[in-house]
Structure 1
Amino acid sequence: MEDVGITILSEQHCHLGEGCTFDPVTGTAWWFDILDRTLFQADLQTGAIASHALPVMASALAVIDDRRQLIAAEDGLYVRDIIQGRLTLHTPLEAGNAATRSNDGRVHPCGALWIGTMGRQAEQDAGAIYHFHRGELKRLYAAIAIPNAICFAPDGATAYFADSREGILHRVAVDPVNAMPIGSPEALVDHRGRPGSLDGAVVDAEGLIWNARWGSGCVDVYTPQGERVRTLRVPARQPSCPVFVGKDFDRLLVTSAWEGMDEEERAADPHHGRTFILDVGAVGRPEPRVLLG
């Protein structure tokens, strides 16, 4: 376990902190508390934190342009006006299934969004992973319990994803032009039998995969061949999602959660649910903007 410099970005104890992203144009980091229906934003230069109450549970955010964001929520993909905060439904997402909600997602270099859904109680096989590109939504994979670790290689030719309950990080070749899979997924990392579970992930400029390990208070770093090369300590037991931030994308923002922890467990984990920035000595990449069509 490697110790690096850590700053607490937000003292807020998120019930289920998730879905972090970074807009380099404004120097703003964004993340959600899914279960408490809140969107957070942080100005990384000043450290100012703001929160926005949401009418729906939302889990992932992508920048459309300087005025708008696309938010994946429990019943659809919404366009959010950044200044006014107004949400407008763009594309329904399992809107007829009240038992599911959105979960992990990330934008491919071509501007396509991969977004996962899951049962509200993490029911077995209740979720799926979808592909959204230029206004069209397609289901890629079904029968998933907890979709996580969605991320993409720098050249856009490989996608990664996991079902946290299954415990396997998969890779699949994709078309760099539209992020559609080519062939079948194959196992890259078999995490079964190890402490914790695979959660959110992001890929750096060298193609290394940075994966938050829920339940073990750390972030693991894997090569594209599946070799674990680093494990960085996070001061909360349930880290959930990483993203590279800063002018040079050389720091790692990590969200966390206290979901499922009782009062005694939270007392033993005083930083539960807080949001951190780690000095990781690596260089990430800007998150692509999503294309609506």
Structure 2
Amino acid sequence: MPEIETLTITAPYLPVACALGEGPFYEEDTDVLRFVDIIRKEVHSVSLAAGPASHKVVVLEDSVGITADIDGRTDEYIVAAKYGFATLRRDTGELTYVKKVYEDEPEMAERMRFNDGAVDSRGRFWAGSMNDFHVKNLQAEGCVFRLDPDMTLHRMIEDVSIPNGMGWSPDDKTMYFTDSPSRGIYAYDYDSPTGALSNRRVFFQLAADEPGVLDGCTIDTDGNLWTAVHEGSRILKLSPQGEVLAHVTMPAWKITCPAFGGRDLDIIFVTTAGVDDGEETPEGSGHHGAVFQIKAGAKGARSNKFGAF
């Protein structure tokens, strides 16, 4: 087994207090980091050149779980929102749905929302749905959908309860998918030309005596996977073989999602969630809902853009 490195982050990069910070995304064209607060229905942005003082917030009509740039568009980007896939105008926050996923099931449409996702190398937008916050007794009613650039919709992974981090190996032959309640990350053989998945297997399983569940993830150019441990105050760096290479701890409890950013794509930005009133949290984890940065000694790949439509 490789020796496990440790790194401790002591202060946030952006001391906001999101209710549920998620979906960090680096805009290479503008050198801007954006992320969402799912509960408060907000999109946040900060210019990395200008620093935290440039932080801005746009309030939305519906919750948004994940965002992605659109090939050839600068005035808007695509998101996975409450009812499905929508475009979002940068200046106003106006949402325009382009594909609602439960149009013929109004009861399901109200029960569900979108959580996490990513765009693959062929410009297809993958995103997972789950029960909305008002639904009691979480059910495995969610699905990972794939929206192709021609606007066809495909159900790829069924019967999930909390779909989380997704990504692809550098050779584009493996897709990873995080199923939070199982505390595991699964690997699939991935056929890039068709987007087909096969041969599901366990890539990594959090040990029974370790706190938390696995949440969002990002992958570096060496094929290492960096995964958030929600209610675990840390990020784990995993090798392509699923071995733990590093622990990165930070002073927040509910770590939600990492993403590479910066001009050299060598900084990992990490979103976190807030805590409920009266909720007991570990000592020293007071920066709930803040955004952190990790100078990880690794580089991320450029984010894929959703194909023009």
The equivalent position to 1:9 in structure 2, one of 9, 13, 21, is 13
The equivalent position to 1:247 in structure 2, one of 244, 259, 263, is 263
1:61 and 2:67 equivalent? yes
Partner of 2:146: 131
**In angstroms, what is the RMSD of aligned CA positions?**
1.9
Letter in 2 for 1:61: T
Written as runs of structure 1 = structure 2, the 5 A alignment for 1:131-170 is 131-134=146-149, 135-170=151-186
Partner of 2:199: 184
> How many residues get paired?
292
Q: Show structure 1 runs of 4+ deviating over 6 A.
A: none
Contact 1:7 1:278 in 2 (8 A): no
Matches of 2:112 and 2:308 in 1, distance apart? 24
The equivalent position to 1:40 in structure 2, one of 8, 32, 44, is 44
Contact 2:78 2:85 in 1 (8 A): yes
Matches of 1:159 and 1:267 in 2, distance apart? 36
Matches of 1:259 and 1:180 in 2, distance apart? 38
TM-score normalised over the length of structure 2: 0.89
Contact 2:113 2:130 in 1 (8 A): yes
Letter in 2 for 1:158: T
The equivalent position to 2:119 in structure 1, one of 107, 117, 121, is 107
- CA spacing shift, 1:7–1:137, aligned 2, 3 Å: farther
Partner of 1:280: 296
Contact 1:22 1:244 in 2 (8 A): yes
Residue 124 of structure 1 deviates from its aligned partner by 2.7
1:72 and 2:80 equivalent? yes
Contact 2:206 2:213 in 1 (8 A): yes
Deviations 1:217-256 (A, max 9, x none): 1100111211111111122111100000100011000000
Same amino acid, percent of matched pairs:
26
- CA spacing shift, 1:259–1:140, aligned 2, 3 Å: farther
Letter in 1 for 2:65: S
Matches of 2:42 and 2:283 in 1, distance apart? 23
Structure 1 range deviating more: 10-19 or 77-86: 77-86
Matches of 2:7 and 2:215 in 1, distance apart? 20
Unpaired runs of at least 5, structure 1: none
Written as runs of structure 1 = structure 2, the 5 A alignment for 1:213-232 is 213-232=229-248
Residue 170 of structure 1 deviates from its aligned partner by 0.2
Matches of 1:232 and 1:252 in 2, distance apart? 11
What SS does the aligned partner of 1:8 have?
A: coil
Residue 292 of structure 1 deviates from its aligned partner by 4.4
Letter in 1 for 2:202: A
Unpaired runs of at least 5, structure 2: none
